[in-house]
Structure 1
Amino acid sequence: MAHRPHEGEALSLALPHRAALGDGLLWQPGAARWWWTDVPAAMLYAWDDGAPSAYACRLPDRAGSVAFCRSGRMLVGLAKWLCYAETPAAPLPARLALQPVVAVDPAEPRTRVGDGRTDRAGNFVFGTRNEATEARAIGSFYQFSHAHGLRRLALPAAAVAGSICFSPDGGTMYFSDAGRRHILQCDYDADGAQVAAVRPFSQLVDGDSRPHGAVIDSEGCLWNAEWGSGRLTRYAPDGAVMRSHLLPVAHPTRPAFGGAALDRLMVTSAGPRGAGKPSAPGAGSLFGLATPGVRGIADTLFNDG
């Protein structure tokens, strides 16, 4: 089935922003706040929905993903480290103090931590990406838990690991490699960090599209940000395309549900790469989409003991 923009439900600009690569978007229920990072700028942002601007905080290195913990802390996926931080209150401090927990791929300088989120059991599952070139698949998928530390998942190597999300019951993991045009799925055992039956989920038809960040809604449907074509596509649990919403920018990065009823769908985006490249209006901004009748699933807090 071809991807087609869903007319009449276009995404709207929620927050004008100039992120070079906005990613890691996450909703914090208690504070009613959105969080995300600008990866190359090594910045963490927080935004109260509807406010005229976001709060900003500098990080010691690039961060691809974050998660909130049961203790109230934040787990931050820096380039080569997973770290804890006290979740800052607004306005944010100028620089966030981090406590390193575990090194990631310390012997491989070409990779960094990228997309990640908690599974339904409260473990942090994330991928790494090849920073040197997207042509070589040297990235991996990992699970990090308080009980077992860092465990590599037996999934195919990826150039840019992403689209990590989980079915409502937690038994299926979805993932992708942005170097290819398909999203995969597998059986997932959170306790044992075991995967099985790796199989296709959906193929991106548009030749300009690459799968990026993804999220699952309460009906078990997967929303994927398509890098290159500027689309946010909803897939049925069987992988069929249900609808595709066209963004005014080419590079959406990660969708997330938020709001009091988890009925507010937002997506981060990236600006142009390289000096002299033209910038579409709103590139790097935060966009919102009304999804009547569709709700998200609250992210499980990371079990930090």
Structure 2
Amino acid sequence: MTAAVAIDAARARLAVDSRCRLGEGVLWCERRQALWWTDIQSARLWRHTPGDRRSRYWRLPDRLGSFALCESGRLLLGLAKGVYSADPGAAEDLDALAPTLLAPVEADQPTLRINDGRCDRSGNFVFGTLNEDLRRAPMGRFYQYSRRHGLRPLALAGVAIANSLCFDLDGRGLYYCDSRQGRIMHVAYDADSAQVGAPEVFAEVQAPASPDGAAVDSEGRVWSAQWGVGRVVGYGHDGRVERVVEVPTSNVSCLSFAGAALDEIYITTAREELDDAQRRAQPDAGGVFRASVAGVRGLAEARFDDR
């Protein structure tokens, strides 16, 4: 990875020793000052409140690829084969959630499941699917879900592993990637019509790094969790690397800006795809890490409009 600008570096430290098989999709709820994330392969939804350092999880009926905070306080869940609604607040004394199906997704495609997703700045949930077949044919698609329009496909080319979904500050541009292609793309996006423009390459990600989850900060930088190389990278508006957060485990999956001032970065990781020797060398793999980068703040997470 090269850049023509000076690169500021920071280092993340373990915040929650959750030991997830595949920690992903981390979001910060500024109302409750709570962190949410999913362990996809274990079908668990996690919550951590830094104020009292308490963590817990709920079991789910299927794997949770991504999710969104809702205006009502509920959660919108992208389980493997459908979009669901759930209310963890009504299940504080339970160890499992019983979500309600809102829309099935690709029920006729058994190898596809919902993967990365995020709310756009107009309150719609945008997500993509992943092909679990070992040949990884680019069959995955991107969708927008809303109460008003239901499920609408986005006119983007098929992918093997949909990832990196996040939005420009004004909500009129969408970032995304196929993790297997090593390029973060940018496309014009209209939330009302669910229409997109012609994709352009925003940033090239050099192997062995693979772009995973992403987020946009308050100045419009794109921050990318990079699987396989133990880092989160902050890209400037021109797609060049400006900041790096080093994470002491290889498989870094997603990030969220958090804290009362949104000046912390929480980062999910995975134990998946590590052999026994790597797991011994990386005992904190699967945990959630925290870092602060001088002068960097995020935005409150957009919420799904379920009113």
After superposition, the C-alpha distances for 1:175-206 in whole angstroms (9 at most, x for unaligned) are 0001111100000000000000211000012x
Aligned-pair CA distance for 1:102: 0.3
Distance 1:256 1:248 in 2: 18
| CA distance 1:275–1:210, shift in 2 (3 Å) | closer
> In the comparison of the two structures, how many residue pairs are matched?
304
* 1:243 aligned residue: 243
Aligned-pair CA distance for 1:278: 3.1
Please list, as runs of the form range in 1=range in 2, the aligned pairs for 1:56-75 lying within 5 A after superposition.
Answer: 56-75=57-76
Aligned-pair CA distance for 1:11: 1.1
After superposition, the C-alpha distances for 1:226-274 in whole angstroms (9 at most, x for unaligned) are 1111110000112111122221111111110111111111110001437
Distance 2:130 2:167 in 1: 20
| CA distance 1:134–1:93, shift in 2 (3 Å) | farther
What is the TM-score when the length of structure 1 is the normalising length?
A: 0.95
The DSSP-based 3-state class of the residue aligned with 1:278 is helix
| CA distance 1:92–1:14, shift in 2 (3 Å) | farther
* 2:220 aligned residue: 220
Distance 1:277 1:156 in 2: 38
Aligned-pair CA distance for 1:32: 0.7
The DSSP-based 3-state class of the residue aligned with 1:284 is coil
After superposition, the C-alpha distances for 1:96-142 in whole angstroms (9 at most, x for unaligned) are 12100000001000010110010000000000001122631110110
| CA distance 1:60–1:158, shift in 2 (3 Å) | same
What is the TM-score when the length of structure 2 is the normalising length?
A: 0.94
| CA distance 1:6–1:90, shift in 2 (3 Å) | farther
The DSSP-based 3-state class of the residue aligned with 1:88 is helix
Please list, as runs of the form range in 1=range in 2, the aligned pairs for 1:1-305 lying within 5 A after superposition.
Answer: 2=2, 9-49=10-50, 51-88=52-89, 91=92, 93-133=94-134, 135-205=136-206, 207-273=207-273, 276=276, 278-279=278-279, 280-305=282-307
The DSSP-based 3-state class of the residue aligned with 2:11 is coil
RMSD between aligned alpha carbons? 1.9
Aligned-pair CA distance for 1:93: 2.0
Distance 1:160 1:20 in 2: 18
Aligned-pair CA distance for 1:163: 0.1
**Structure 2 residue identity aligned to 1:172:** G
Percent identity over paired residues: 41
Unaligned ranges ≥5, structure 1: none
The DSSP-based 3-state class of the residue aligned with 2:46 is strand
| CA distance 1:99–1:278, shift in 2 (3 Å) | same
CA contact (8 A) 2:225 2:255 kept: yes
CA contact (8 A) 1:134 1:160 kept: no
**Structure 2 residue identity aligned to 1:200:** V
| CA distance 1:172–1:53, shift in 2 (3 Å) | same
Aligned-pair CA distance for 1:156: 1.3
Aligned-pair CA distance for 1:76: 0.5
CA contact (8 A) 2:187 2:196 kept: yes
**Structure 1 residue identity aligned to 2:213:** G
Distance 1:241 1:5 in 2: 9
Unaligned ranges ≥5, structure 2: none
Bigger drift between 69-78 and 82-91 goes to 82-91
Distance 2:290 2:228 in 1: 19
Distance 2:17 2:52 in 1: 11
CA contact (8 A) 1:20 1:273 kept: no
CA contact (8 A) 2:7 2:241 kept: no
